[in-house]
Structure 1
C-alpha cells in the first residue's frame, strides 16, 4: 500500500506510520462550550463573546508556527475542544484557508470535527458536509436521560439518536463517544446503551470510564454526598461487557478505549500512539516534534493578548531518552500493536532493552503481559490495569 494514497477511513498499519518520516497532524483546540459538563477538566469557556476573535488568533498561531515541522506532510487535522461544532461556516473557512495556504497537506487527509448532538441540526450537518470535514466524532456519552442529566450534558436522549441519523445522511466516517462506570448505571443499562449504538451502525466507537477529576463539579458533588462515588468494580464489569459485545459485532479493539470496524480506525489517534509529530494550536493545546513537547497557556484572554503582539504563549520541555522510552511504553501498550523488543533496542539502545526484559518478567508471571515473536501485549486480565502496568516498566532517570 502506498502511504500517499491512503483514503479517508482506511486502516494504517504501524509499519507504515512508524516507519515513514514526514507525516504529521494538526490539532486545533476550540475552547468554548454552551455549558460545563460536571466531569470535564479540559480548558474551555462558556462565554462565546470572544469566539471570532479567538479564531483569528488561531489562524495567527498557525502562520507563526508554519515552519516548526518543515519536512512534514499533514495527514490529519483534528478539531477538538471544548465544542468545535460551535464554529460557523465562515470560521471553519478561515481556519482551512490558513492551513491550506501555509502547510503541505497530504492527499485525502483525515479531517475530524468533534460535535455535540444538540449542535447537529440539519443545517449544521449540511454545512459541515460542504466543508473539508470528512469525519465526525459525536459526543453521545449515553442514550439515557438520567445519565445525561447527572453529567450535565447539553443534549438529551432524543437529540443523541437524532444527531447520528442526521450525520449518517452526509458522513460515512462517524465515531461516537460513550461513557461507562456512571454512578447508578447498571450492567443492564450499559448493555442497552451498546445495543442502541450497534443498531445505529456507526463504524467507530470510543468509550471511556467516568473519571472523577479534582476541582470538577462531579468531584464536589461526590464529596458532599449528592452523587454516589464511582464504583471501580462496576466500571471494570462495564469494560468487560464493552469489549466482549463490540468484538462479537466485528469491531476491532485496536486501542484500550477505541473500537473500529475494518477501514475505520482513527488515523489521528493512531498518529499519536505511534509517535508521529503533531502541532497543537489554541489555548491549552500540546505539541510534539519527537524531541520536544510544547504547551500553550490555558487562558483565552492571555492567549489572545499574546498572539495580538505576535508572541507564542507557550512553554517547552526537551525530552530525554527516558521520557521518550516511557511514552513509547505507555502509548504502545494501549494498542493492539504492543511493544517490540527489537524496536526498543533500535530506538533506545541496549540499556533500555535490558531494563525492559528485566521489568517485564514479574508481569508475565502474573499473566498481565504476554509475549509472541518478540512483541509484548497486555493480556485480557491486565487490560483494565494498563496504566499501572506501563508504570512498572518505566525507566527512572535515577536508576
Structure 2
C-alpha cells in the first residue's frame, strides 16, 4: 500500500500560529497546478510496484482550487499510478470557502450543496475541515478567515453530503477555559462528526503568535491548562464511542484516517508539491519550500527534491516515535526482527524508568503509553532514541 500527498500552498490569509508553507497570493496558482501535474508524471516510476490506496490534498487550503483543477490532479494520479479500487481521497477545506455568514445573513459560495456534490462526483470521499474553534474570540486570536457561525453552517451542509468528515480543533488557546473547551467538543459531537483531529496550540518560531507573546499582546500558552484540556478531550470523546488511535486523532470505528495511519505505520508515501515530504522505506525526501523555485524547476523537468538515506538507527528512532503515538504501540518483535537484539535490549533498558513511573507499560510484547503518559509521549520517545549503537549507523 502507498499514499500520495498533494500540497496546495495557498491560503486566503495567514493564521497567527501557522508555520506551514503557503502563500496568500494566488497569482501563480495556474502555474503551480501545472507543476503538480508535471511532478506526478515525472515520479510515476517511484511507485511501480505499489498500489495507491490514499490521495490526500493538504495545505495550505486545497478547497481554494476549482473543481476542474482538482479533477485534473486526481485524473493524473490515476493515469500515472496503479490506484486501488476504492481509494480514500481526502480534501482539506476551510468553512469560509463554502459559506459566508455576516451579520446573521447566510450566503453560500457557488452554493455549497453544488460544491459538495461536485466533490463527490470527482471521487473525493472524505473532508477534513479546519474548524479549530466554535468561539469567535479564539478564531480572532488565531486570525482564522472564518467566524463561528460559518463553522457551524459549513458542517450543517457538509454532513448532508459526506459521512466521512474530520474536523480540526485546537486546545490550550490563551483564555480558553475548560468549560468553553468542553463546549467546543460537544458542539462537534452534535454534528455527529466521526473523526476529530485535535492539537495543542504551539508557539512556532517566526510566527505572528510568537511575536505577540513576546510583546505581551497575547498571553503565553499554559502547558498545564493544555494538559487538562487534552485529558478532557480524551475522556469526552472516548465516552462518546471514539478511539484515540493516535495521540492527536480520534475516530469512530471504521473512520480512522487511512492516509495518516499509513504514515504512523511506516508505509511509503509520495509527497507532491512545494515543501511536500516523501518516504519509500529507505529514503526520505523533501521538495523545495518555495513556490517560484518549485515551478521553475518543474518547467525544466527537474523535481526540486533533497533526499536523505535513512540509517538503521534513523529507522529505529522513527519507529519508536510513531509507534508510541499510536494505539498499536511499539512491537518488541518488530524491533528485534528489523533492528536486532541490541536495539531491543536498549529500548527495554531506556523504557524501564518510564514503566516504573507508570508512563509506559508492556502488553502482549508491545510497548505502549499509559493515559498518564500520553501528553508526554514525544518527550518519552526522545528518551528511547538511540544516537548510535557501537558505531552501527548503516
If the TM-score is normalised by the length of the shorter chain, which range does it land in? over 0.9
Q: Distance in 2 between matches of 1:126 and 1:49?
A: 27
Aligned to 2:336: 345
- Partners of 1:222 and 1:199 in 2: how far apart? 34
Question: Could you tell me which residue of structure 2 aligns to residue 367 of structure 1?
Answer: 358
Q: 1-side partners of 2:45 and 2:146: how far apart?
A: 40
Secondary structure of the 2:46 match is coil
> Within 2, Cα distance between the matches of 1:157 and 1:198?
16
Query: What pairs up with 1:90-169 in 2 under 5 angstroms?
Result: 90-120=68-98, 121=108, 122=112, 123-169=114-160
1:4 maps to none
Give CA-to-partner distance per residue, 1:254-297, whole Å, 9 cap, x none: 11001101110000011000000000000000000000000000
- Name which of 185, 192, 196 aligns with 2:187: 196
1:110 to partner: Cα distance: 0.4
Say whether 1:269 aligns with 2:239.
no
Q: Which residue of 2 aligns with 1:84?
A: 62
**Structure 1 stretches of at least 4 aligned residues deviating more than 6 Å after TM superposition:** none
CA–CA distance in 2 between the matches of 1:364 and 1:110?
37
Q: Residue 178 of structure 1 aligns to a residue in which SS? A: strand
Q: Which residue of 2 aligns with 1:18?
A: none
> How many residues in Structure 1 have an aligned counterpart in Structure 2?
377
Partner of 1:46: 24
CA distance in 2, matches of 1:386, 1:264: 24
1:251 and 2:242 correspond: yes
Distance in 1 separating the partners of 2:50 and 2:356: 42
Partner of 1:239: 230
Deviations 1:226-264 (A, max 9, x none): 000001111001001000000000001111001101110
Q: Which residue of 1 aligns with 2:44?
A: 66
Secondary structure at the aligned position of 1:387 is classed as helix
Name stretches of at least 5 consecutive residues in structure 2 with no aligned partner.
Answer: 99-107
How far residue 365 of structure 1 moved from its aligned partner, in angstroms, is 1.0
Partner of 2:7 in structure 1? 29
TM-score by length of 1: 0.93
**1:299-342, CA deviations, whole angstroms, 9 ceiling, x for partnerless residues?**
00010000001111110100000000000000010001111111
By how many angstroms is 1:95 displaced?
Answer: 0.5
- Deviation digits for residues 10-49 of structure 1, max 9, x if unmatched? xxxxxxxxxxxxx100000000000000000000000001
1:64-100: per-residue Cα shift (whole Å, max 9, x none)?
0000121000010000000000010110111012111
Matched, 1:329 2:307: no
Q: Which stretch of the first structure deviates more once superposed, 356-365 or 328-337?
A: 356-365
Distance between the aligned counterparts of 1:325 and 1:265, measured in 2?
25
> Residue 167 of structure 1 aligns to a residue in which SS?
helix
**Is 1:220 equivalent to 2:220 in the alignment?**
no
Provide the aligned C-alpha RMSD in A.
0.8
Give the structure-2-normalised TM-score.
0.95
SS at match of 1:67: helix
Gaps of 5+ in 1: 1-22
Is the 2:166–2:196 Cα contact (8 Å) retained in structure 1? Answer: yes
Residue 398 of structure 1 and its aligned partner are, at CA, apart by 6.0
Q: Distance in 1 between matches of 2:28 and 2:123?
A: 24
Q: Return the alpha-carbon distance in structure 1 between the equivalents of residues 363 and 303 of structure 2.
A: 46
